[in-house]
């Protein structure tokens, strides 16, 4: 069904659940390293493998991170709360229950304000933010797709099992109409920026440290009751959040318009064509048999502790933006371009790493945005860090790279060839600044053009241009043209 037609008949209702992996040193309930990657089953212990007899002990930093996230989202912090066990069997879950908060979340009832592309501010209510643990990872072997269906067997790695997660759940988001997909994306973007500012997570959607499940339903215009919702999982980029919501709206619109019913189910987002597909139907309704986790004692944060944490909150992204806009002397329009390119924080970090704001801005909104578009990824997902961009900028400033060479260095970093300096070495891109080598090239060019050499010696300095051009050609553009010119004149005046 056409998107406009859906909106002429229905109101979309959203609910977003975001899982954030914290970047603590260790896991939620044990001292195993919390690190992405790593050889399989090397970051495990009796506790995160669920070995008989093992017990959990809660990571203090994870609790503080949870509270700081709650405070940044304007939530209340529980005076007393507990963990519960969510019981269900799944091979990637070592205990066959997830230790999670259930009816007593550590943070609840908050909100997040977001700015849409045109500057409109939307307030999204936050239902809760609670602590839980991640599962292990399964690798499905055999079958055509490497996916779960058709696999012959599976291989389990528990390095991720027990990694601290914060699940942030919005209240229902209504009344956004045609902008629902955009709101969904803006929410996840704003949340990501906030979490990055808090320094609590790597927020890498491509690595799964930020994961979004989108609940979507439609209700006929003018009606009060919500329609049946679906929950779309596996939405692994900001762009996908927007696409998934939009797709579900049109799909559900078509089903409802055709007199059909929406089935309450989990759906999977297909990156390739932007569609969602139904998951396997559950034979029996889930009954998680939650009960308070007897192996962990209640958490009762003192108000002093909460206020102390409130004092550690960094400048919020929106405050920071106001300040940055002023610092960089940008007009509203210029700044919005930067925002829409998803480049504010990247530019800011590049500036923090020592670059000028003009240079940093120029790199991120032009060349790097182009590269992101070519690869169809978010700017932030490009495999280059602000520190690396800042290094490239400083190499140019030091005269070690020309702008053209600098782009080649950036290409090398994006291609995974290493740090900028390594790429310079490996690709042999350094500006030739060794006077010895340059002098030799200059002498050679002068010898090849005796008539021009004569003119220069006679005081016609303007004739040097041809010699400089030849030297640049001979050094494949890696020489500093200004220095070459100086050398030419020097050689002709001795």
Q: Which does 407 bind (CB under 5 to 8 A by kind): Mg ion, Zn ion, other proteins, none?
A: none
Q: Are 201 and 61 in contact (CB under 8 A)?
A: no
For residues 79 and 40, what is the distance between their CA atoms, to the nearest angstrom? 39
Dihedral (CA of 377, 381, 382, 386) sign: positive
Q: Are 194 and 20 in contact (CB under 8 A)?
A: no
Q: Are 238 and 59 in contact (CB under 8 A)?
A: no
For residues 487 and 36, what is the distance between their CA atoms, to the nearest angstrom? 52
- In the 8-state DSSP scheme, what is residue 172? P
H helices of 227-316, in order, are 238-257, 303-310
Of 5, 103, 206, 295, which one interacts with other proteins (CB under 8 A)? 295
- Please list every residue from 259 through 278 that binds other proteins, using CB under 8 A: 266
Q: Is 85 strand, coil or helix?
A: strand
Q: Is 112 strand, coil or helix?
A: strand
Give, rounded to a whole angstrom, the gap between the first and last alpha carbons of the chain.
81
Q: Which does 167 bind (CB under 5 to 8 A by kind): Mg ion, other proteins, Zn ion, none?
A: Mg ion
For residues 129 and 105, what is the distance between their CA atoms, to the nearest angstrom? 6
- In the 8-state DSSP scheme, what is residue 367? I
- Please list every residue from 151 through 210 that binds Mg ion, using CB under 5 A: 167
Angle made by CA atoms 234, 239, 244, in degrees to the nearest 5: 50
Give the closest residue to 130 by CA, choosing from 77, 174, 178, 177: 77
Minimum Å gap between C-beta 369 and Mg ion is 35
Q: Which is nearer to Mg ion, 167 or 193 (CB)?
A: 167
Q: Which is nearer to other proteins, 230 or 402 (CB)?
A: 230
Q: Which is nearer to Mg ion, 169 or 395 (CB)?
A: 169
Minimum Å gap between C-beta 23 and Zn ion is 17
Minimum Å gap between C-beta 169 and other proteins is 16
Of 13, 122, 134, 135, which one interacts with other proteins (CB under 8 A)? 135
Neighbours of 443 (CB within 10 A): 15
Q: Are 47 and 29 in contact (CB under 8 A)?
A: yes
- What residue is closest to Mg ion based on CB? 167
- Please list every residue from 299 through 328 that binds other proteins, using CB under 8 A: 299-301
**Residue 355 interacts with Zn ion (CB under 5 A): yes or no:** no
Q: Which residues pair with 133 in a beta bridge?
A: 164
Of 2, 178, 221, 297, which one interacts with other proteins (CB under 8 A)? 297
Q: Which does 51 bind (CB under 5 to 8 A by kind): Zn ion, Mg ion, other proteins, none?
A: other proteins
Please report, for residues 66, 131, 308, 443, the alpha-carbon distance to residue 71 in angstroms, rounded to integers and kept in the order given. 9, 14, 11, 69
Neighbours of 27 (CB within 10 A): 28
Minimum Å gap between C-beta 186 and other proteins is 27
Q: Which does 209 bind (CB under 5 to 8 A by kind): Mg ion, Zn ion, other proteins, none?
A: none
For residues 314 and 440, what is the distance between their CA atoms, to the nearest angstrom? 56
**Residue 208 interacts with other proteins (CB under 8 A): yes or no:** no
Minimum Å gap between C-beta 52 and other proteins is 4
**Residue 58 interacts with Zn ion (CB under 5 A): yes or no:** no
Q: Which is nearer to Mg ion, 21 or 182 (CB)?
A: 21
Task: Show the binding pattern over residues 45-64: x = contacts other proteins (CB under 8 A), - = does not.
Answer: xx-xxxxxxxxxxxxxxxx-
- Tell me the site size for other proteins, rule CB under 8 A: 75
**Residue 105 interacts with other proteins (CB under 8 A): yes or no:** no
**Residue 30 interacts with other proteins (CB under 8 A): yes or no:** yes
Residue 350: its H or E element: helix 344-352
Minimum Å gap between C-beta 66 and other proteins is 12
- Please list every residue from 18 through 37 that binds Zn ion, using CB under 5 A: 30, 32
- Please list every residue from 148 through 187 that binds other proteins, using CB under 8 A: 148, 151-158
Q: Which is nearer to other proteins, 224 or 282 (CB)?
A: 282
For binding to Zn ion (CB under 5 A), which residues are involved? Answer: 30, 32, 45, 47-48
């Amino acid at each position: 069904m056409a998107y406009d037609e859906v909106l002429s008949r229905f109101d979309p209702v959203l609910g977003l659940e975001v899982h954030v992996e914290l970047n603590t040193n260790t896991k939620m309930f044990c001292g195993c390293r919390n690190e992405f990657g790593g050889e399989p089953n090397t970051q495990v212990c009796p506790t995160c493998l669920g070995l008989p007899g093992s017990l959990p002990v809660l990571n203090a930093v994870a609790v503080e991170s949870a509270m700081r996230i709650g405070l940044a989202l304007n939530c209340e912090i529980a005076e007393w709360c507990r963990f519960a066990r969510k019981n269900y069997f799944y091979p990637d879950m070592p205990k066959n229950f997830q230790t999670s908060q259930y009816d007593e979340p550590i943070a609840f009832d908050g909100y997040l304000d977001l700015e849409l592309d045109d500057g409109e501010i939307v307030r999204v209510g936050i239902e809760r933010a609670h602590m839980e643990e991640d599962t292990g990872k399964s690798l499905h072997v055999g079958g055509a797709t490497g996916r779960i269906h058709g696999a012959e067997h599976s291989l389990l790695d528990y390095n991720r099992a027990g990694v601290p997660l914060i699940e942030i759940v919005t209240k229902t988001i209504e009344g956004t109409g045609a902008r629902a997909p955009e709101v969904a994306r803006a929410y996840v973007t704003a949340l990501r920026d906030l979490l990055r500012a808090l320094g609590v997570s790597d927020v890498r959607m491509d690595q799964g440290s930020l994961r979004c499940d989108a609940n979507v339903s439609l209700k006929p215009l003018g009606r009060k009751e919500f329609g049946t919702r679906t929950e779309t999982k596996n939405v692994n980029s900001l762009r996908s959040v927007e696409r998934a919501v939009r797709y579900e709206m049109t799909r559900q619109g078509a089903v409802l318009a055709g007199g059909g019913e929406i089935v309450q189910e989990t759906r999977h987002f297909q990156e390739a064509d932007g569609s969602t597909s139904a998951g396997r139907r559950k034979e029996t309704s889930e009954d998680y048999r939650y009960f308070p986790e007897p192996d962990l004692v209640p958490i009762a944060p003192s108000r002093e502790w909460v206020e102390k944490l409130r004092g550690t909150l960094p400048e919020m992204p929106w405050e920071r933006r106001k300040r940055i806009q002023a610092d960089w002397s940008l007009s509203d329009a210029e700044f919005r371009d930067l925002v829409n390119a998803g480049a504010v924080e990247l530019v800011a970090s590049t500036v923090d790493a020592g670059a000028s704001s003009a240079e940093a801005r120029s790199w991120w909104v032009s060349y790097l945005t182009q590269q992101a578009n070519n690869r169809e990824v978010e700017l932030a997902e490009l495999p280059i860090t602000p520190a690396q961009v800042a290094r490239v900028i400083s190499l140019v400033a030091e005269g070690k790279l020309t702008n053209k060479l600098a782009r080649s260095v950036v290409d090398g970093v994006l291609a995974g060839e290493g740090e900028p300096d390594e790429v310079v070495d490996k690709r042999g891109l350094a500006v030739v600044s060794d006077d010895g080598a340059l002098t030799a090239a200059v002498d050679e060019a002068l010898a090849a053009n005796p008539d021009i050499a004569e003119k220069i010696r006679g005081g016609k300095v303007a004739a040097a241009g041809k010699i400089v051009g030849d030297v640049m050609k001979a050094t494949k553009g890696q020489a500093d043209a200004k220095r070459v010119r100086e050398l030419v004149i020097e050689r002709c005046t001795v």
